[in-house]
Amino acid sequence: MLTIALSKGRILEQTLPLLKKAGLEISDEELNSRKLILDTSLDDVKVIIIRATDVPVFVQHGAADFGISGKDVLLEHGADGLLELLDLGIAQCKLMVAASDEQKLNQNTLKIATKYVNSTKRYFEAKGQQIEIIKLYGAMELAPVVGLSHCIVDLVDTGNTLKANGLVPLEHIIDISSRLVVNAASFKTKNAEIKFWINSIKKNL
Ligand code: AMP
C-alpha cells in the first residue's frame, strides 16, 4: 500500500493531471466527497487530502509515503526525515518583500508581517538587517496598510493582490514551486514502488 499526501487548491488542481499522465486517477466522485482518504484507480494507492502546511508533517512521520508540497512550506518546516526528490515546476511563484514604497524598508529595526518566519529570518540575517517579525496566518497585505508593520514577506504570483492593497514587490527572496517529498524510511522499504511513481511523473513533466 502506498499513501500520497496532497493539499487542496492550487497544488491538488495542478497535481491531478500529472498523476493522471503517470497512470493514477482519482474519480470526481471521490474528489467531490467529504472523504479525507481517497480511493484511486489503483487498489494499492490511496491519497490523503490535508492542509498544505501539514503535508511535510504527515510525510516526515511516515503517515504518507510521499507528498507534494510547496517549497515555501518545506523551507518553513525543515527537511528532517524528508527527501526532496523532484521539482514538479507547478504552483510557481516568488517569495518577496513588499511595502507601499521602497523608503519603508529604511528602518533601524524593520517590522515585517509574515507567516514565513524562518525564510524571512534567514534572508534578513544574511543582509545584516535587524528585524522584528509579526507572525500572521493570512491577510498579510493588511498589516502595512493599518500600520502593524513596515512591510510584508509573502508569496507573489501575478502581483494583483499586492497591487489591490497599494503594495509593490521590492525584494526577491526565492523562487517557489511544488516539490515531491518522500519519507526517508519509505524510500528504503518501498524503493521500487516510489521510484516507479517518481519516474512516471518525471517522464510526463
Ligand atoms: P497574486 O495576486 O497572483 O500575486 O497571488 C498572491 C496571493 O496568492 C497571495 O496571497 C499568495 O499567498 C497566494 N499565492 C500565490 N501563489 C501561490 C502559490 N504557488 N502557493 C500558495 N499560495 C500562493
Question: pLDDT (tens digit, 0 to 9) for every residue of the chain, 205 residues total?
Answer: 999 999 989 999 999 999 999 999 999 999 999 999 999 999 999 999 999 999 999 999 999 999 999 999 999 999 899 999 999 999 999 999 999 999 999 999 999 999 999 999 999 999 999 999 999 999 999 999 999 999 999 999 999 999 999 999 999 999 999 999 999 999 999 999 999 999 999 999 9
138 CB near ligand 1 (under 6 Å): no
Q: What's the CATH number where 7 sits?
A: 3.40.190.10
Residue 36's pLDDT is 94
Going by the DSSP 8-state scheme, the letter that residue 89 receives in this structure is -
- Compute, in angstroms, the gap from residue 156 CA to the centroid of ligand 1: 5
Residue 95: what pLDDT?
A: 98
| 87 plus 185 within the same structural domain | yes
Residue 9 sits in the same domain as residue 85: yes
If you measure from the C-alpha of residue 98 to the centroid of ligand 1, how many angstroms do you get, rounded to a whole number?
A: 13
Ligand 1 atom closest to the CA of 177, numbered from 1: 19
Predicted confidence at residue 28, as pLDDT, reads 96
Residues 98 and 109 in one domain: yes
- Verify that 81 and 11 share a domain, yes or no: yes
- Same-domain check for residues 146 and 190: no
Q: What is the pLDDT of residue 100?
A: 98
Shared-domain flag, residues 85 and 120? no
Please check whether residues 73 and 14 belong to one and the same domain: yes
CB 26 within 8 A of CB 41: yes
Burial group, residue 26, by CB count within 10 angstroms (0-12, 13-18, 19+): buried
Query: Tell me, what's the pLDDT at 4?
Result: 98
Pocket probe mutation, ligand 1, options 93, 120, 160, max atoms within 8 Å of Cβ: 93
Domain count, the chain: 2
The answer to whether residues 171 and 182 belong to one domain is no
CA-to-CA separations, 51 to 6, 7, 68, 160, 199, in angstroms, rounded? 8, 5, 11, 24, 26
Considering the domain architecture, whether residues 73 and 12 belong to the same structural domain is answered as yes
* Domain encompassing residue 168: 93-175
Pocket flag, ligand 1, residue 7 (CB < 6 Å): no
Among protein residues, the one with the nearest Cα to ligand 1's atom 23 is: 155
Q: Are residues 105 and 159 in the same domain?
A: yes
CA 38 – ligand 1 centroid, Å = 26
Mark whether 81 and 150 lie in a shared domain: no
What is the spatial distance between Cα 116 and Cα 176, in angstroms, rounded to a whole number? Answer: 13
Same domain for 84 and 182, yes or no, is yes
